[in-house]
Every structure is written in structure tokens, then in C-alpha cells.
């Protein structure tokens, strides 16, 4: 690009972690303090307006069109997360760890949409046609309405989408498409931002629903600037242990439905399928009655799920005992350990503590606090909870057990699963389902006394 003498090109530096801007390159981002995360982005030159802009026509909000049509994905669990299906003209971003099944799920959604009569265009920028064909044969994706485009040039992808206008277009992945008019290599923040912006414009202009497959960073966030998630309509994360079979599809953002919804799926050799009994997906009767195990009912969005929590405490001579978690916040674990030490006299300063949420689930619900605390105490004291028992409650710094949201829905789920007892906060005054006994506790000490 030619530059006039004495007039440097207008550039800025964008942080790939937080999206912050800096007028010059720095080794460390001034906002999030991440090292080597700034990359250069070329800005377009401003042009003087020769004519004043004319005011645009406006409409009353009450008269705005509200098209309720949705394209079903063929998966009831996926439709649940999306709010009923894919909205025409929407842009969906699907992220997840490598090998978790993003491309498989996207291809199977295209197959089921094509079987329902909605043609789908699958744009592959990472894999060859032979590789996509192998996956299609393995998963049984044989619908005649799926068209394959192996291309990573963004202009070609957009021209094909606008020419064919399929009801559903899948771009796998957004980090591999390249815009020749933007500086930087494919996958850079500037390239990803420009690609998503142009794909969003094409989706809105043509009425084509676009599903973007995105990579994630080592921190679990979708690679590229944080503004990427603000550009799209729906953000989904496919979670789970890639060596296991259970998968959780989590809705992080949804302009057409509720956020925080989850769908329960399973990965098999023939592809991804829906679970036969989603409510019991994370329960295992063989682990009941083991010291250190506790069952809780968490709410993911509006959906209650029974999740098993496992804890193990092992004595150590190390001055710095280990605190290892899987599926639970380590800072929250430190808080619970401090409460157990101070308020319940459970000495854990010379013990390694391990906490695991079964099935690759991540427990962000505060209602799981009491279950984690009782699992740790049970492992330390070698005592167990009553049989067929669940635990629900948030633990405060004073050792008090606080009430939680949607407790009635949690109790209804516990009753539907055939549980007999639920340990709940003492201030619960809601409905108790028939056949279910609620044992109320005020403090963490009260709850520990129920261990036998």
C-alpha cells in the first residue's frame, strides 16, 4: 500500500485476549496485562463527506415484522438451547475444545436440515473434500441436499452463499477463511473480525442462517477478539471430556431465546446423538454410599440437572497441600475450605484436596456449594450422606447455608428421579413434592451432623 511521504499509515494495535486498542505496539496489553497479545490492524482512511446524509425512514416498533419461522436442527436438545430452532438470517457461533465434536455436530445438523427439505451449504476451510466425505460416511450423513464447498477465500465463500442462498450455510472454521483486503494472516484478530462482520452482513442481507465453527484458546474462550461474540446472534459452546462420551451444548448468548440453556448429547463412533434419559446422564448408582460423594441438583438456565460431586482428601507432609479441581472453580474451593476450617473445625491444612464434577460438567451454580463442602467433609471424616439423598444450598463466609433460586424446580426434579431426601436451607417455604423429605439446615455444622 503506497504511503505519502511524511504521512504514516493509520494503524492501531488490538489485543487478541480482551479486544483493547493501543495506538502503538507494546509487549504487554495495558488492559488485561497479557504478554505478546497485541497485533497490528490497518485502519481505513477517513473521507470527507461531500453531501449531507438524508434521514432514513423509520417505523413504529409495534409495526415491526416479527417472523416466527425457525429451521429445526433435528436435535430436540439443540433446538432447546437455540430457543426452538435456527432463525433465518441469524449467525450462530459454535466453539469448543479440539476433538470435542464441533465439526461432527455441524455436519449432522446440515444432514438433518437437508432431510427436512432445507438445503445446506457446508464450507470447509480446514479439511479436504475427502476428509469431509469420510466423516459423512462414518456418521451416516447421506442427505442429497448437502452441498460441499472446499474454500478458504472469503470472497469466494460469500459469492457462493449469495448466489445459492441456502437456508443454512456452515463455515468450518471461521479462523481459516481469509480476506485479501485485510492485513494479517488467516486467524489473526483483524482477519477474524473482518470475516465475521462480512458474513453477518451477508446473512442479514440474504436471509441465510450461518453457523460458524470457532476454535478456542487455552483459556477456553473462542479464539479471536472478544468483539467476535458481540457481532453474532448466538454463541454456543460444546463442552465435555473428549475422551468420554457425554457432551454438553451450552448457550452463552442468544438473541432469540433464553441464555444459559444446556443440551445433553453423547458422542459415539457413528456421530453425536441425543441422550435417552438426560435427567440421569450424570448419575451412577454404583458410587452411592461412598464417603466423599454427594449428589446435587443444579439449574442450567431453566433446566434442573442432578450432578454427582466427588471429593477426596489425602494426608500430606508438604507445606503446600494440593488443591485440584475438575469442573469447579478453584477459588470457590479455597473459600469452602476456609469455611470448613473456621466454622466446622475440619482441619484440612495437612491434606491434599481433590474435587471432581462427574461427566465433564462445570458447576458454576452457587447451589452446589453445600454438596462440595459435604463431600469434602465426608471424605475427611470417612462418613457418608443418607442413601438416595441430594444436597442443595449456598454456603456463606459465616458458615450459614443460604437459600438458592428455583428451589421448587430442583425439588421437583429430585422427586422425578426417585430420590427420597433433599438437604435444603432452613428458610425454604416452598412446595415439597409428595414422597420427598426435606431436611433443613441452618449452618454448615448442621449439615455435617447429617453425615453417618
Last residue of a domain, which of 252, 276, 300? 276
Task: Give the strands of the sheet with 262-268, arranged side by side.
Answer: 146-150, 120-124, 168-172, 209-214, 91-96, 234-239, 246-254, 262-268, 271-274
- Compute the distance between CA of residue 418 and CA of residue 411 in angstroms, rounded to an integer: 11
Yes or no: say if 184 and 156 are a contact pair by the CB < 8 Å rule. no
Q: How far is residue 335's CA from residue 83's CA, in Å, rounded to a whole number?
A: 36
Question: Same domain, yes or no, for 313 and 344?
Answer: yes
Average pLDDT over residues 226-249: 85
CATH number, domain with residue 334: 3.30.230.10
Measuring CA to CA, how many Å separate 157 from each of 86, 163, 165, 186?
21, 10, 12, 14
**Do 230 and 305 belong together in one domain?**
no
Inside any domain, residue 354: yes
Q: In what order do the strands lie in the sheet with 389-391?
A: 389-391, 421-425, 437-441
- Residues 364-370 have a mean pLDDT of 94
Using pLDDT thresholds of 50, 70 and 90, give the confidence band for residue 225. low
Residue 47 lies in a domain: no
Q: What is the DSSP letter of 43?
A: P
Q: What is the pLDDT of residue 189?
A: 85
Least confident of 6-15, 272-281, 310-319, 434-443: 6-15
Looking at residues 362-385, what average pLDDT do you find? 95
Domain boundary among 256, 276, 296: 276
Q: Which pLDDT does position 14 carry in this prediction?
A: 80
Nearest to 258 by CA among 288, 300, 286: 300
Residue 196 lies in a domain: yes
Q: Are 186 and 293 found together in one domain?
A: no
When pLDDT is cut at 50, 70 and 90, the band that residue 47 belongs to is: low
Evaluate if residue 211 carries a pLDDT over 70: yes
Q: Quick one: 258 and 290 in the same domain?
A: no
pLDDT tens, 310-361?
999 999 999 999 999 999 999 999 999 999 999 999 999 999 999 999 877 8
Q: Which of 125, 130, 139, 151 is nearest to 213 (CA)?
A: 125
**pLDDT confidence of residue 124:** 95
Query: Residue 183, exposed/middle/buried by CB under 10 A (0-12, 13-18, 19+)?
Result: middle
Domain end call among 217, 247, 276: 276
Q: Given a cut of 50, is residue 190 above it in pLDDT?
A: yes
Which residues have C-beta within 8 Å of that of residue 296, sequence separation ≥ 6? 306, 307, 309, 363, 367, 368, 370, 371, 390, 391, 392
Task: Confirm whether 427 is domain-assigned.
Answer: yes
Q: Do 118 and 222 have their domain in common?
A: yes
pLDDT at 97: 86
Q: Into how many domains does the chain fold? A: 3
Considering the domain boundaries, does residue 59 fall inside one? no
d(CA 293, CA 133): 44
Task: Looking at the structure, tell me whether residues 109 and 245 fall in a common domain.
Answer: yes
Residue 4 has pLDDT above 50, yes or no: no
In a domain, 211, yes or no: yes
Q: Is the domain of 113 the same as that of 244?
A: yes
The pLDDT confidence band at residue 413, using thresholds 50, 70 and 90, is very high
Q: Which residues constitute the domain of residue 27?
A: 11-42
CATH number for the domain spanning 226: value is: 3.40.50.300
Does residue 55 form part of some domain? no
State whether residue 130 is helix, strand or coil: helix
296 and 265 fall within a common domain: no
Bridge pairing between strands 168-172 and 120-124: parallel
CA 432 – CA 438 distance, rounded (Å): 8
The model's pLDDT over 93-114, given as tens digits with 9 standing for 90+, comes to 999 888 899 999 999 999 999 9
Q: Are residues 272 and 352 in the same domain?
A: no
Per-residue confidence (pLDDT) for residue 289, from 0 to 100: 78
For residues 219 and 144, membership in a common domain is answered with: yes
pLDDT digits (tens, 9 = 90+) for 273-314: 988 777 777 787 666 778 999 999 998 777 899 999 999 999
Q: Assess whether pLDDT exceeds 50 at residue 6.
A: no
CA 428 remoteness from chain centre: 31
The residue with greater pLDDT, 382 or 4, is 382
Please check the confidence at residue 43 and state whether its pLDDT lies above 80: no
Q: Give the pTM.
A: 0.78
DSSP 8-state class, residue 285: G
In whole numbers, what is the pLDDT of the chain averaged over residues? 88
* Overall average pLDDT of the 415-441 stretch: 91
Record the cell numbers describing residue 375, joined without a space. 463431600
Over residues 164-181, the mean pLDDT reads 93
User: Does residue 78 lie within any of the structural domains?
Assistant: yes
Mean pLDDT of 351-379: 93
Q: Same domain for 190 and 116?
A: yes
Q: Is the pLDDT score of 221 beyond 70?
A: no
Looking at the fold, whether 262 and 122 belong to one and the same domain comes out as yes
Amino acid at each position: 500500500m503506497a504511503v505519502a511521504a511524511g504521512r504514516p499509515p493509520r494503524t492501531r494495535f488490538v489485543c487478541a485476549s480482551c479486544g483493547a486498542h493501543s495506538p502503538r505496539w507494546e509487549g504487554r496489553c495495558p488492559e488485561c496485562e497479557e504478554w505478546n497479545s497485541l497485533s497490528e490492524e490497518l485502519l481505513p482512511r477517513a473521507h470527507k463527506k461531500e453531501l449531507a446524509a438524508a434521514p432514513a425512514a423509520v417505523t413504529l416498533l409495534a409495526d415491526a415484522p416479527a417472523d416466527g419461522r425457525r429451521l429445526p436442527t433435528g436435535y430436540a436438545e439443540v433446538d432447546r438451547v437455540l430457543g426452538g430452532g435456527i432463525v433465518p438470517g441469524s449467525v450462530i457461533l459454535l466453539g469448543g475444545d479440539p476433538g470435542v465434536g464441533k465439526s461432527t455436530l455441524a455436519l449432522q445438523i446440515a444432514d438433518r436440515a437437508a432431510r427436512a427439505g432445507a438445503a445446506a451449504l457446508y464450507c470447509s476451510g480446514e479439511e479436504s473434500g475427502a476428509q469431509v466425505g469420510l466423516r459423512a460416511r462414518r456418521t451416516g450423513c447421506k442427505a442429497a441436499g448437502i452441498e460441499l464447498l472446499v474454500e478458504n477465500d472469503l470472497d469466494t465463500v460469500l459469492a457462493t452463499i449469495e448466489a445459492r442462498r441456502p437456508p443454512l450455510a456452515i463455515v468450518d472454521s471461521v479462523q481459516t477463511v481469509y480476506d485479501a483486503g485485510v492485513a494479517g494472516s488467516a486467524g489473526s484478530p483483524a482477519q477474524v473480525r473482518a470475516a465475521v462482520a462480512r458474513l453477518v452482513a451477508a446473512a442479514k442481507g440474504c436471509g441465510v442462517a450461518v453457523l460458524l465453527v470457532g476454535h478456542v484458546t487455552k483459556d477456553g474462550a473462542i479464539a479471536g477478539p472478544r468483539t467476535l461474540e458481540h457481532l453474532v446472534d448466538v454463541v454456543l459452546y460444546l463442552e465435555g471430556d473428549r475422551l468420554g462420551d457425554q457432551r454438553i451444548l451450552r448457550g452463552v448468548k442468544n438473541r432469540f431465546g433464553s441464555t444459559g440453556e444446556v443440551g445433553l448429547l453423547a458422542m459415539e463412533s457413528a456421530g453425536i446423538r441425543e441422550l435417552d434419559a438426560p435427567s440421569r446422564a450424570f448419575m451412577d448408582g454404583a458410587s452411592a454410599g461412598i464417603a466423599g460423594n454427594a449428589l446435587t441438583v443444579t439449574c442450567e438456565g431453566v433446566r434442573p440437572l442432578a450432578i454427582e460431586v466427588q471429593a477426596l482428601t489425602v494426608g500430606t507432609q508438604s507445606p503446600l497441600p494440593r488443591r485440584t479441581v475438575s469442573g469447579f472453580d478453584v477459588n470457590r474451593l479455597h473459600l469452602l475450605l476456609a469455611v470448613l476450617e473456621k466454622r466446622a473445625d475440619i482441619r484440612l491444612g495437612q491434606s491434599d484436596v481433590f474435587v471432581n464434577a462427574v461427566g465433564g460438567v462445570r458447576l458454576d451454580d452457587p447451589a452446589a456449594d453445600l454438596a462440595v463442602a459435604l463431600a469434602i467433609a465426608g471424605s475427611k471424616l470417612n462418613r457418608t450422606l443418607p442413601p438416595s439423598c441430594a444436597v442443595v444450598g449456598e454456603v456463606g463466609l459465616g458458615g450459614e447455608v443460604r437459600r438458592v433460586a428455583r428451589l421448587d424446580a430442583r425439588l421437583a426434579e429430585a422427586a422425578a428421579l426417585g430420590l427420597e431426601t433433599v438437604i435444603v436451607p432452613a428458610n425454604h417455604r416452598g412446595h415439597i413434592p409428595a414422597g420427598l423429605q426435606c431436611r433443613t439446615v441452618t449452618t454448615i455444622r448442621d449439615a455435617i451432623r447429617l453425615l453417618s
